[in-house]
Amino acid sequence: ETFLGHTGPISRCCFSASGNNIASASLDGTIMIWTYDTSTPVSRNATIYCGTEILSLDWECKSDRLLLIGTSDGCIKAWNVDAKRVVCDLNTTEAFPSVLDIKCIPVEPIFVSAAASGGAGSNYIDNLGFASLTVWNMKTWKAMTVLPLGEDPPAITSLCFNHNGKILAASAVDGMIHMFDMSAGLQITGWPAHDSSISSILFGPDETSIFSLGSDGKIFEWSLQNQGQILWSRDSSRYISSLTPYT
């Protein structure tokens, strides 16, 4: 089935936790919530107008009612799909206006945002600037802490939690993968994974490995038991002309 409605490039697309809804975001400043199964009620279907580029999306895992939205002007919005309205509107610091990714902890009302100091210009990757990782409480809608990344860290492009939210993986424009212990709020390890920017990362099914996709189209599966060991790789560059959106 094909869904139409966006007038600009689609930057993000993701299923809700239940799998009943799909949210898609576009650089035209719109988000659309779709129902693809005819047996599922369409009451959640909506078009959300944000007035600025949408860079990141994630569904809150437990209730399946909240959609988190990150924009290019430092806003993080929480949309209640049942009430069909924005229930919270947060702002990152002025120094980090581009909210490149948002991820909710699977078992707690907490999410992490990856924001960058840049983002404008024709060469998107080179203009992303530095990174900031902020942990937010979804009950108070306030920032809890900022995860340490060192001095002038390259922008973080993708985030992923393990099943219980105790470990956070973060990938960067310099090809590094960083691993954080969320209980301690500290980085526990990291390694160079790609010669180019990393577009996306994802834990493997048994969480003993992690997959990374580079902007050059290369895919690696990394062992988490033997750091730096490649378990599997594939070059998909012939099928993918570019993995650096928002250019």
Report the C-alpha gap between 72 and 186 in whole angstroms: 27
Cβ-contact 100, 127 below 8 angstroms: no
* Residue 77 in domain: no
pLDDT given at position 138: 97
Cβ-contact 13, 24 below 8 angstroms: yes
* Residue 106 in domain: yes
User: Which domain does 185 fall in, by range?
Assistant: 92-235
Report the C-alpha gap between 123 and 77 in whole angstroms: 27
Whole-Å CA distances, 147 to 44, 114, 119, 142, 162? 34, 10, 21, 15, 17
pLDDT given at position 41: 82
Question: pTM for the full model?
Answer: 0.92
Q: How far is CA 246 from the centre of its chain?
A: 14
Higher pLDDT, 38 or 245: 38
Tokens of 132: 């900031």
Region 194-220: mean pLDDT is 95
| Cβ burial 62-74 (10 Å sphere, 16+ → b, else e) | eebbbbbbbbbeb
The share of the chain scoring above pLDDT 90, in percent, equals 80
Higher pLDDT, 244 or 109: 109
What CATH number is associated with residue 100?
2.130.10.10
| Cβ burial 139-165 (10 Å sphere, 16+ → b, else e) | eeeeeeeebebeeebbbbbbbbbbeeb
Overall number of domains in the chain: 1
pLDDT given at position 2: 84
* Residue 13 in domain: no
User: Residue 90: is its pLDDT beyond 90?
Assistant: yes
* Residue 10 in domain: no
Region 136-152: mean pLDDT is 97
* Residue 105 in domain: yes
30-88 residue pLDDT tens: 999 999 888 888 899 999 999 999 999 999 998 889 999 999 999 999 999 999 999 99
Region 191-214: mean pLDDT is 96
Give the angle subtended at the CA of 46 by the CAs of 200 and 25, to the nearest 5°: 25
